[in-house]
Amino acid sequence: MSMLAPVRRDRIIAELPQCFHKEAALHSRASFHPQVTGACQEQRTGTVGFKISKIIVVGDLSVGKTCLINRFCKDTFDKNYKATIGVDFEMERFEVLGVPFSLQLWDTAGQERFKCIASTYYRGAQAIVIVFDVNDVASLAHTRQWLADALKENDPSNVILFLVGSKKDLSPPAQYSLIERDAIKVAKEMHAEYWAVSSLTGENVREFFFRVASLTFESSVLAELEKSSARKIGDVVRIRSADGDLYLTAQRRKSKCCR
C-alpha cells in the first residue's frame, strides 16, 4: 500500500504554466519540452515519480517567505508575523502530464543568528527561490548574497533559480514599475526567472508554484533521459541565450554576482 497522500485535483498540471515576464524567464516556450512529453506518454520517466524534489526558499528576515509557502500549501495568510527558527518544510504532491511528482518546500530562517543552521539544509536542492520585498530595495540587493550562500552547497549547473518579489499588494503601480525594472536586471544577472506575488491576496502564488513544479519536473525527466542515453539531451542554459530556451545543449555558468 502506498504511503503517499493522493494528488489533489487542484494539483494536476496538464499544460506548461507560462512565465510571469518573458524578459526574465528561464524559457518562454508554450509547452513542455517534446522529449518530456514523449517520455510521459510512453511511460519512460524512470524514477521521477518516486523521488522528492527539494526546493529551498531563502531571503531576508520578514520578506514573506513563510507567508508565500503557507498561502500555497494551506491557503492561509497570518497577519501575526512569526520569524522562522532554523528551518521548516511543507510537502506538496502534483501530477504532471500524468506522472506523480513531489516537491518539498524548505522555508529557511532569514535571521543572521540562524543562518548557519539554515544553510546546512541548502544541500541537494533542485530549485532555489530567492525572495525579496518589492517595497524594500535593500532586500533586493541582498538577494545576491543569499544566492551565493545557497550555491555554496549546490552545483550551479544543476539548480533552477527563481527571484520572487513579495508583498506586491502594498506597492503602488508607479513604485512597483521601478522596482520591477531593477528586479528584472538582477534576475538576468542570476540567470533566474522573475515573479511578483502577493501572499495576502494570493495574486500569482498558485501560478508561481505550478511553474516551479513544472520546470523542476521537466528538468528531472530530462536528467533521467540523459542517464539512459549516451546523447546529451538538455543542460540548463543561461537566461541570456538567443532564444531563451532553458534546455539548449549549453552549460549554464555561475553568474558574476555569485562569485
Question: What are the boundaries of each domain within the chain?
Answer: 26-258
CATH code matching the domain that covers 26-258, chosen among 3.10.180.10, 1.20.1070.10, 3.40.50.300, 3.90.550.10: 3.40.50.300
| Residue carrying C-alpha cell 550555491 | 151
**Distance, CA of 190 to CA of 236 (rounded, Å):** 13
Encode 60-74: b = buried (16+ Cβ within 10 Å), e = exposed: bebbbbbbbbbbbbe
pLDDT at 255: 47
pLDDT at 115: 59
One-letter amino acid at 143 equals T
pLDDT at 95: 97
**Distance, CA of 23 to CA of 194 (rounded, Å):** 9
DSSP string, 107-136: EE--SGGGHHHHHTT-TT-SEEEEEEETT-
pLDDT digits (tens, 9 = 90+) for 121-150: 888 999 999 999 999 999 999 999 999 999
pLDDT at 139: 98
> Average pLDDT, stretch 183-196?
98
173 vs 227, which has greater pLDDT? 173
For residue 196, list its beta bridge partners: 165
User: Residue 259 pLDDT more than 70?
Assistant: no
Question: The C-alpha cell of 255 is what?
Answer: 553568474
pLDDT at 145: 95
User: Residue 32 pLDDT more than 50?
Assistant: yes
pLDDT band at 234 (very low <50, low <70, confident <90, very high): very low
One-letter amino acid at 67 equals C
Q: How many other C-beta atoms are found inside a 10 Å radius of the C-beta of residue 93?
A: 16
One-letter amino acid at 175 equals Q
Specify the DSSP class assigned to residue 156.
G
Q: How far is CA 240 from the centre of its chain?
A: 18
Specify the DSSP class assigned to residue 246.
T
| Residue carrying C-alpha cell 515573479 | 195
pLDDT band at 58 (very low <50, low <70, confident <90, very high): very high
pLDDT at 227: 86
75 dihedral zone (left: phi>0; alpha: psi -120 to 50; beta): left
pLDDT band at 241 (very low <50, low <70, confident <90, very high): very low
pLDDT digits (tens, 9 = 90+) for 206-222: 999 999 999 999 999 99
**Distance, CA of 33 to CA of 107 (rounded, Å):** 29
User: Residue 153 pLDDT more than 70?
Assistant: yes
